[in-house]
Structure 1
């Protein structure tokens, strides 16, 4: 039986990615939906992208665009960077690309440019890196960068009074549009958690792999999940984004 498996933010943790695919016993019958932020954090961002390119050829995969992926794409194409990006994982990534050939870099750019801003499945479940702002849904979003930079969807879900009925005028409309929304972007370690967290109809699957949390893969149907070791233990000689 096929599963829809959702993968949280990887942030260059190639070893963790290998662990979760093995622990979840992923097969070619499964649909893998990656929520973005494949790079920046740990020192194997190029290896992650190489692996995902190969995985795409052999497995059923859908890849979201993360804000870090967008920043890396810009640097690969133009050489431009910001100090803020460097401070949040970009410096480690640019150093890791020193050993990458020009042909590989072109393949990585092609992969990055093929990423989707969101995926809406036949069960009205939305998969997006960060969120969306338009009260009428993703098809009406005015600013595409919101799909991979936005944080108010998750912040609103965290602050929501769960006693408010969904038909109440004060209930946030964004939580009524889709059956479920699966996101990454804002690690649940910020609220002291290291497992997928559900608030309203939003599932946050970023369990802090960029920092001291594990990487997570979750079955979108059953909500069963599998995790890597805490990623910093897999890279004892690196600091990640800590």
Structure 2
């Protein structure tokens, strides 16, 4: 079994299909770890959730945009009452997309996908977390809010102490770097798929990776985040 780690999708189902097709990833045999932010930006968040739900042996981490999307799905507030920060930062597309699916499907996604996302995952000396963490404190003692929002681990060029490697998303490396980036023992897999960049899928052991085409080209005439 190989382990593959997937960066921030942001509603780009066409990019997700590309990386799965281009990678040697074997559904049902290999393990897939998604670093969070399946939601918000491009118009296909429900399709992304459906695709990930259909992949056996998957682990889903919670991103800040997933937290926002789940908060809305739990209430289904009308447009005039939704969180304006969420709506303006990509939630508009998620809101619109979920208007097109039956209520039972929205409830299923909330329960079986967003409700199953983890704040972090540890395995074989490696840490997987959406945004980062404070290396001076045990991961289990940290505020889950910081795990989906902090940028200090990456921007501060910190080392993920107590781990052989750490894999994160959240802070795009695009456009400065269009490919996965490593600082010390921290790997960043957010290559800007929510904006003008690409989606990345990486083999944890070998560090071989595949990427989608630049996402705007997959959605001509559609504005992302």
TM range (shorter): over 0.9
Q: Which residue number in structure 1 is paired with residue 161 of structure 2?
A: 176
Q: Which residue number in structure 2 is paired with residue 221 of structure 1?
A: 205
Based on CA coordinates, which of the two structures has the bigger radius of gyration?
1
Gaps (5+ residues) in structure 2?
A: none
Contact 1:126–1:180 under 8 Å retained in 2: yes
Report the CA distance between 1:109 and its aligned residue. 0.6
* Residues 105-120 of structure 1 mapped to structure 2, 5 A cutoff: 105-110=106-111, 111-120=113-122
User: Are residues 1:67 and 2:64 paired?
Assistant: yes
In 2, Cα distance between equivalents of 1:202 and 1:225? 16
Pick from 186, 210, 222: which aligns with 2:194?
A: 210
Number of corresponding residues: 219
Structure-2-length-normalised TM-score: 0.94
Report the CA distance between 1:86 and its aligned residue. 1.2
Contact 1:126–1:181 under 8 Å retained in 2: yes
CA RMSD of aligned residues (A): 1.2
Rate the CA distance shift 1:181–1:134 in 2: closer, same or farther, 3 A: closer
User: Are residues 1:76 and 2:57 paired?
Assistant: no
Report the CA distance between 1:136 and its aligned residue. 2.4
SS at match of 2:174: helix
Rate the CA distance shift 1:3–1:18 in 2: closer, same or farther, 3 A: same
* Residues 81-230 of structure 1 mapped to structure 2, 5 A cutoff: 81-110=82-111, 111-121=113-123, 123-133=124-134, 135-141=136-142, 143-157=143-157, 175-189=160-174, 192-230=176-214
SS at match of 2:156: helix
In 2, Cα distance between equivalents of 1:25 and 1:197? 21
User: Are residues 1:9 and 2:26 paired?
Assistant: no
SS at match of 2:201: strand
Gaps (5+ residues) in structure 1?
A: 158-171
Report the CA distance between 1:134 and its aligned residue. 5.5
Contact 1:188–1:197 under 8 Å retained in 2: yes
Q: Which residue number in structure 1 is paired with residue 25 of structure 2?
A: 26
Contact 1:134–1:140 under 8 Å retained in 2: no
Contact 2:135–2:160 under 8 Å retained in 1: no
| Cα-to-partner distance string for 1:90-117 (whole Å, 9 max, x where unaligned) | 0111011111111001111111011000
Report the CA distance between 1:210 and its aligned residue. 0.3
Contact 1:117–1:147 under 8 Å retained in 2: yes
